[in-house]
Structure 1
Amino acid sequence: MTYRTAIKLNENIVGLLCYLGFWLTGVLFLLIENNNKFVQFHALQSFLTFLPLTLFIFLVAWVPFVGWLLAEFVGFGVLLIMLILAFQAYRGSKFRLPFVGNIAYNYIYK
């Protein structure tokens, strides 16, 4: 069963959208969505996952040569994580990443 959200879309689609803009859409949907816990969970997990990774890539990229290469590899990994999380949200799953997923789940659902 799918439920409507504050922006009048199904929660699975909004859950997917929480990941497509990395941490920016996570913050956006945390501010917009007040009633749907599924969307809030995915928005918070997106924010807690991608903000530190974005900062890490930004800081590592300042190191010449080795940092650039590491930032590229980490960036591809982050893109893969984003695609997996977006697909799981679209399927309606509350897929949790090992550390931040548990924090987001406990914050939203308890």
Structure 2
Amino acid sequence: MDRHEQSGREKGTTSSGMDENLAGVLCYLCGFITGIIFMVIEKENRFVRFHALQSIFVSAAIIILNLVINLIPILGLIISIFIMLAAFVLWIVLMMKAYQGQWFKLPIIGDMAEKQLK
């Protein structure tokens, strides 16, 4: 579903004055840190708030998963490397989708973010 279907408008405005697609990208830039920053400064724009929440949730999930996996001796380190590579690819995809103005919703995490918007 793209942003036009969700928001019903062509181009959204943000509290910070920047384009909503740029703000969406910045939500993912430093993971949960920039996600929290945009949740605090953005009060109106649902597109930016969605990507900020999704950034927070996906960052937390990756951190927790890595902590748990690293409890496994030796094998945990190897699995952790693959998780971080997959997380890097996911980070790039999420930033690209946000820049394109898409409401790209991850399974489970995207639903959680969407529920928090309501």
TM-score (ref. length: structure 2): 0.84
Residue by residue, what CA displacement relative to the aligned partner does 1:8-35 show, whole Å, maximum 9, x if unpaired?
2111001001111112111111111111
Superposed CA RMSD: 1.4
% identity of equivalent residues = 32
Match of 1:89 in 2: 98
Q: How far apart are the structure 2 equivalents of 1:41 and 1:91?
A: 15
| Structure 1 residue aligned with 2:37 | 28
- Alpha-carbon deviation of 1:52? 1.6
| 1:61 partnered with 2:83 | no
Report how many aligned residue pairs link the two structures.
Answer: 109
CA distance in 2, matches of 1:41, 1:14: 11
The aligned amino acid for 1:78 is A
Instruction: Compute the TM-score of the two structures, normalised by the length of structure 1.
Output: 0.89
Q: Please list every run of at least 4 consecutive aligned residues from structure 1 whose deviation after the TM superposition is greater than 4 angstroms.
A: none
Extract unaligned runs of 5+ from structure 1: none
Distance, in Å, in 1 between the alignment partners of 2:116 and 2:49 is: 10
- 1:62 to partner: Cα distance: 4.5
Distance (Å, rounded) in 2 between the aligned partners of 1:27 and 1:62:
28
- The unaligned stretches of length 5 or more in structure 2 are 1-9
1:56-79: CA deviation from partner (whole Å, max 9, x where unpaired): 213423443211111110001111
